[in-house]
A and B are shown apart, each in its own frame.
Chain A
Amino acid sequence: MDLNFSAEDNAFRDEVRAFIRDHYPAYLNEKIHEGEEMAKEDFLAWHKVLHQKGWIVPAWPTEYGGTGWTATQRYIWSEETAAADTVRLMPFGLSMVGPVIYTFGTPEQKAKFLPRILSGEDWWCQGYSEPGAGSDLASLRTRAERFTGDDGKEYYRVNGQKTWTTMAQHADWGFFLVRTDPTAKIQEGISFLLIDMKTPGITVRPIITLGGEHEVNEVWLEDVIVPVENRVFHENKGWTCAKFLLAHERTGIAGVAASKRNVERIKDVARKTEDGGEALMANPFFKRKVAELEVDLAALEYTELRTLAGESSGKGPGPESSLLKIKGTEIQQRLTELALEAAGTYGAPYFRSMGEGDNSFAVGPDSARRTAPVYFNMRKTSIYGGSNEIQRNIIAKMVLGL
């Protein structure tokens, strides 16, 4: 047991820091700060830099493009990217379907899809939730019927509706959970399909969320024809892939490094915000809330480090990752509450209504500008990826045996 970094680790940190400093496309942060719409190329700009360097998927096995970094090095990487406030990479290929494909996919699927995930050539989206299947994901009803085509090959005909499909408006491919055996027990009749989003019969409709963002969509599938070779793993065994993916998603969801960065940002704002003639940071109530957040964040960080150490010693992410999801998202949400509180009166103006296309029209301090929309937006974190209520059920059942 040792909390210190080795000389090699420190050298690694220097290397990483220098790389980010020299190669990160800093214009992205400017755009985000101004509340400008991010184009697809903007989301991919940092992705492409990392792909070129060979650092796009540190956690993958080296044979598929991973860096072979130790858990400590991966931790240093996440700390440094957060400290530099780099944009979040889209997780759908890199940390969701990618691991499913290299774990359960055929050699042909691996050869076809993995390189294009690494390069960013394919943008992926996730077709899991349905209007009637949210927390109860396994009750999904999107139907895939198998048939033999005129060309003698095997196909599925897919019909149904998915929802909360993040960034589907940009997607080239989607991974979908579909029901292939309606007579089986609900978790046993599901298959995991990779679907080209340009296939006829797919309609993507935007859902606008409270901060005014277009992040999520409804995806309608009407007689969408999918070759059987695009199914990952066995027919009717898709739930195995689904569970594997959700556990992977949960660990990334803790967001420790980003939350650390946000604590620093709030402290910085609170030092500059006046509160009755003193800095808000000197307000004992506000300071106590920051202290409590730092304590809870340290508890999350060291719990995640213990989990990561367990993973690199061979245990995959298990139901413990639900703890990281719950505590991580609670902290992310508390940070947005505190930022809104710090903004005070200036939390109220809606930045997108301040003059058409006039981004110079700032009201109040820059730091206050998007606090309310971000607060509203981050309510999603305790709902998505399996709501925090469902995560508690998982811990109760799988960890505590209740």
Chain B
Amino acid sequence: MDFNFTEEQTMLRDMLSRYLADTYTFDARQKVVHGGKGWNPAVWQAFAEELGVLGAPFAEAHGGLGGGAIENMVVMEEMGRAIVLEPYLSTVVIGGGALKHVGGAIADAVIPGIIAGTTRIAFAAYEPQGRFYLNDLTTTLKGGLLNGHKAVVEGAAHATHLLVTARTGGAQRDAGGVALLLIPADAKGITRRDYLTVHGASASEVYFENVAVGAEHVLNAEALPLIEAVVDEATAAVCAEACGVLKVLHATTLDYAKQRKQFGKAIGDFQVIQHRLVDMFMEVEQAVSMTMMATLKLDTAERSAAVSMAKAKVGKAAKFVGQNAVQVHGGIGITQELAVGHYFKRATLIENLFGSVDFHLSRYEGIALAA
């Protein structure tokens, strides 16, 4: 048993952390948010060229750093610490993750572009009626033509490729008959409605109307197990992002409680505030533990159960720590001026990302508590 990071992993963390602290300041981020595009291409270019971070989980043969899920965890936690808007999750963790599972010529062809920053992938899986269920699909691929509507696709507006789930057979919620496709984002028949999410990233409604899809675009024809594996990996990565967000929320709140004086003393001198900060601290520590546990079990038979346990725990922590960070800050915590409110927004969106607490508790029950 070993919970230590390797020297390379620590270097990766330090390098990214330094870069983000220097260039991805709160003010710089707010400028991007107000710019309305939901990302900064220069940052993405720096991730690829200056830091090489987009190659973190890929094999050296593809030009990557030779890492895997732990490297994704390291990177995503730092992304959370700076509430980064750019699409590491959808491009590297999800798009790259799917390609690593599929392997072969298509992986060889696409992964180098991801590492170079020129290929960006958006994950078009969830649908308006489907809530958090990956199998609940009305998008169809029939006779080589793709038709349907995907909901809240993050990063679609600046993606070069879309990773799409579509039904080739079976009923709306069947496990069989689901294909995973990688298609060019500008293919004929694709339209988008772009908007920002409440935390300032870009997302789109994506519509397919008779989009021609050749066999070369089909990553896997019976893909639900693969899709679930990729989304479990993404969920573990989002748990790591949450750890970064929550650590900053706790540290900022602790600092504020030491500075802010009311009734002639720091509010952190009051026991009710002390206990609140202790409860927040315990939530953060457990979130970190569960994230490591789930990340280390991604390649085992316990993967799904472990990820759902982690996401349920992290989702609760995100709510508790986020709400109490705002509460201890008082009015200033709900203004746009301070960073704390923006971390709270991201923590809130993470609660429902890839499934709510209830969704993951139910999934865990289904896997582990069968009567």
Contact = CB atoms under 8 A, between A and B. Distances in A.
Interface of A: 129, 132-136, 139, 163-164, 207-210, 212, 216, 273-277, 280, 283, 285-286, 337, 340-341, 344-350, 353-355, 361, 363-364, 372-373, 375-377, 379-380, 382-384, 387-389, 392
Given A344-B132, A363-B193, A207 B337 contact: yes
A210 B262 contact: no
B327 A382 contact: yes
Interface of B: 36, 126, 128-133, 136, 151-152, 172-173, 193, 195-198, 200, 203, 205, 261-263, 267, 272-273, 319, 323, 326-327, 330-331, 333-337, 341, 344-345, 348-349, 352, 356, 358, 361-362
Nearest to B349: A348
A232 B174 CA distance: 71
B348 A349 contact: no
A263 B261 CA distance: 38
B361 A376 contact: no
A340 B345 CA distance: 12
B193 A361 contact: yes
- A-B pairs, top 4 by smallest CB distance, nearest first, are A136-B262, A353-B196, A285-B358, A372-B198
A376 B327 contact: no
B334 A383 contact: yes
Given A273-B131, A286-B358, A379 B348 contact: no
A275 B197 CA distance: 22
The interface residues of chain A, by DSSP majority, are classed as mixed
16 contacts: A164-B331, A209-B336, A210-B336, A210-B345, A273-B131, A276-B131, A341-B356, A348-B352, A349-B152, A349-B195, A349-B197, A350-B196, A363-B193, A373-B198, A379-B334, A383-B334
Contacts of B349: 347-348, 372
Given A275-B131, A277-B136, A372-B348, A377 B334 contact: yes
A212 B342 CA distance: 12
A276 B335 contact: no
A274 B127 CA distance: 11
Nearest to A344: B131
Contact of B331 (A132, A276, A354, A384): A384
Contacts of B198: 347-350, 372-373, 376
A273 to B, nearest CB: 7
B152 A354 contact: no
B126 A350 contact: no
Contact of A285 (B129, B173, B352, B362): B362
A209 B193 CA distance: 26
Contact of B36 (A133, A208, A353, A389): A353
Contacts of B36: 353
B152 A348 contact: yes
B361 A379 contact: no
A340 B348 CA distance: 9
B195 A363 contact: yes
Contact of A208 (B130, B336, B344): B336
Contacts of A209: 334-336
B335 to A, nearest CB: 5
A339 B201 CA distance: 22
B127 to A, nearest CB: 9
A377 B262 CA distance: 24
Contacts of A346: 128, 151-152
B151 A364 contact: yes
